[in-house]
């Protein structure tokens, strides 16, 4: 993504302080504290938000990938309805765990609930269970900091070898072959991965498994498994390390690219390498299949796409909520907030801050499901 685009995004993001008071949650937590930031474009939509008796405070946690989107939505919703929402953004693993411990009104995760997690959710969703609602789309960018290299192309086998410490220098022959016109330095590669359990990690490793299994021998999941490399907590933490480290590369959402960090274009076998963008991610997500059952709307993404202009390394962040059995004290605010972020106005916010809106055919099903939450 171009630096001037990031400057525009920075100008649109503001800060919103969230009360440190004890949060009323869907399942009665005493956790607290945090702050959020927002896009001014979301505030312009506040007049169209339907509060529907929403009141009080909500505690939520999970995916750091969607943190910038949640912050924008929270500012608009709080202005309209007076509800305080503390979204901690501690990672998908933390969000699912806390949700199933009864501590949250909803959680965010870049990976759908596993069968055992659905079973656990039935203990806190009285008469129901946790379901996955796709809400935020976007590319997982491979951000890099290599002096003198402005347009870097990599493919799945090369990425696997870089993150598995099999390729260790930026002037390696495999990288040269993909970038014949670039002046690649004799510089050590510093590969950064997530230290916390992360749906971004899960999606990145699913991509490697699907596209280059011969070069990625790990089973995948939210926890990083490959040896070597360096780690940082959260997407913001990885992005900060890449920005600060010459020779670095890491994976995080497009909204974290810029200000000294450039994004890799991926050679998928299409007519040209594909750069991460909201358009290229939406093109890939539009081909996703709904594989969830009942009220669950889990999606299956195509990591092997070779379609021109489709970026293969995408993720969808799900909001996880009880389909039935939500606490009466927090259900109105939870439904109102989810209704807003799934609305046309809510989804429009995403493209202004480098996320991809969920395609119409899918988000229409999400809206219908939210309306039936109880």
CA 219 – CA 236 distance, rounded (Å): 25
Distance CA 309, CA 307 (A): 6
pLDDT at site 354: 87
Q: What are 337-363's pLDDT values in tens digits?
A: 999 999 999 999 998 998 999 999 999
The pTM assigned to this predicted structure is 0.79
* 104-140: pLDDT as tens digits: 999 999 999 999 999 999 999 999 999 999 999 999 9
- pLDDT tens, residue by residue, 39-54: 334 344 566 899 999 9
- The whole-number pLDDT of residue 240 equals 97
| Rounded Cα gap, residues 277 and 49, in angstroms | 28
Q: Tell me, what's the pLDDT at 275? A: 98
Q: What is the pLDDT of residue 338?
A: 98
160 token code pair: 């696997």
Least reliable range by pLDDT among 22-26, 108-112, 218-222, 252-256: 22-26
Where does the pLDDT of residue 8 fall: very low under 50, low under 70, confident under 90, or very high at 90 and above? Answer: very low
Give yes or no for residue 32 having a pLDDT over 60: no
| pLDDT digits 0-9 by tens, 69-92 | 999 999 999 999 999 999 999 999
Give dist(CA 331, CA 336) in Å, integer: 8
- Token look-up 């099999």 returns 166
pLDDT given for residue 108 in this prediction: 98
Q: Say how far apart CA 109 and CA 318 lie, in whole Å.
A: 5
Over its C-alpha atoms, the chain yields an Rg (Å, rounded) of 20
Per-residue burial over 34-69, b = 16 or more CB atoms within 10 Å of its CB, e = otherwise: bebbbbebbbebbeebebeebeebbbbbbbbbbbbb
pLDDT tens digits, 171-202: 999 999 999 999 999 999 999 999 999 999 99
The pLDDT of residue 33 is above 50: no
Q: Please give the Cα distance from 62 to 66 (Å, whole number).
A: 9
pLDDT at 22: 29
What angle do helix axes 92-100 and 199-212 make, rounded to 10 degrees? 120
Q: What are the CA-CA distances from residue 93 to residues 17, 111, 207, 210 (Å)? A: 25, 9, 19, 22
User: What one-character DSSP code corresponds to residue 23?
Assistant: P
Q: What is the pLDDT of residues 296-346, one digit of tens each?
A: 999 999 999 999 999 999 999 999 999 999 999 999 999 999 999 999 999
- What is the Cα–Cα distance from 65 to 62, expressed in whole angstroms? 9
- In whole angstroms, give the CA distance from residue 352 to residue 255: 10
Q: Quick one: pLDDT at residue 23?
A: 33
Tell me the pLDDT tens digit for each residue of 257-299: 988 899 999 999 999 999 999 999 989 999 999 999 999 999 9
List the beta bridge partners of residue 190. Answer: 248
In the predicted model, is pLDDT for residue 250 greater than 60? yes
Please report the pLDDT score of residue 371 as a whole number.
Answer: 97
Segment 9-34 shows an average pLDDT of 33
pLDDT at 224: 98
Per-residue pLDDT band for 27 (boundaries 50, 70, 90) equals very low
pLDDT of amino acid 1: 40
DSSP-derived letter for residue 68 is: H
Angle of helix 156-163 relative to helix 199-212, nearest 10 degrees, comes to 130
The Cα 112–Cα 228 span in angstroms is 28
Burial class (CB in 10 A: 0-12, 13-18, 19+), 367: middle
Which token pair is 172? 């390696």
Cα separation, 17 vs 332, in Å, equals 22
Q: Cα 26 vs. chain centroid, distance in angstroms?
A: 23
Cα(45)–Cα(290) distance, rounded to whole angstroms? 29
Q: How many CB atoms lie within 10 A of CB 244?
A: 11
Tell me the backbone φ, ψ of residue 140, rounded to 5 degrees.
Answer: -90, 110
pLDDT (tens digit, 9 = 90+) per residue, 158-169?
Answer: 999 999 999 999
36 pLDDT tier (thresholds 50, 70, 90): very low
């Amino acid at each position: 993504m171009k630096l001037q685009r990031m400057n525009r995004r920075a100008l649109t993001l503001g800060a919103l302080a969230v009360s440190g008071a004890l949060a009323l949650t869907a399942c009665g937590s005493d956790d607290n504290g945090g702050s959020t930031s927002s896009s001014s474009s979301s505030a312009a939509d506040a007049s169209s938000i339907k509060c529907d008796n929403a009141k009080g405070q909500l505690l939520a946690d999970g995916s750091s990938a969607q943190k910038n989107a949640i912050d924008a939505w929270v500012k608009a919703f709080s202005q309209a309805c007076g509800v305080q929402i503390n979204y901690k953004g501690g990672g998908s693993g933390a969000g699912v765990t806390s949700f199933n411990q009864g501590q949250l009104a909803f959680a965010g995760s870049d990976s759908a609930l596993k069968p055992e997690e659905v079973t656990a959710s039935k203990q806190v969703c009285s008469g129901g269970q946790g379901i996955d609602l796709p809400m935020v789309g976007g590319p997982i960018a491979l951000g890099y900091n290599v002096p003198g290299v402005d347009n870097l192309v990599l493919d799945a086998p090369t990425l696997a070898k870089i993150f598995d410490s099999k390729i260790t220098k930026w002037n390696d022959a495999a990288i040269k072959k993909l970038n014949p016109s670039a002046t690649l330095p004799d510089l050590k590669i510093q590969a950064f991965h997530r230290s916390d359990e992360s749906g971004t990690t899960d999606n990145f490793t699913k991509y490697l498994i699907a596209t280059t299994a011969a070069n990625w021998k790990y089973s995948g999941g939210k926890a990083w498994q490959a040896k070597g490399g360096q780690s940082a907590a959260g997407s913001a933490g990885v992005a900060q390390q890449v920005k600060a480290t010459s020779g670095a590369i890491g994976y995080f959402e497009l909204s974290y690219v810029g200000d000294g960090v450039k994004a890799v274009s991926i050679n998928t076998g299409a007519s040209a390498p594909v750069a991460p963008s909201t358009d290229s991610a939406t093109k890939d997500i539009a081909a996703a299949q709904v594989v969830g059952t009942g009220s669950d709307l889990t999606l299956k993404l195509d990591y092997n796409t070779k379609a021109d202009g489709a970026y293969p390394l995408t993720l969808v962040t799900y909001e996880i909520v009880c389909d039935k059995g939500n606490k009466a004290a927090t259900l109105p605010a939870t439904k109102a907030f989810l209704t807003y972020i799934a609305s046309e106005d809510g989804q429009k916010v995403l493209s202004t801050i480098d996320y991809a809106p969920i395609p119409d055919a899918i988000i229409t099903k999400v809206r219908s499901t939210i309306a039936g939450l109880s």
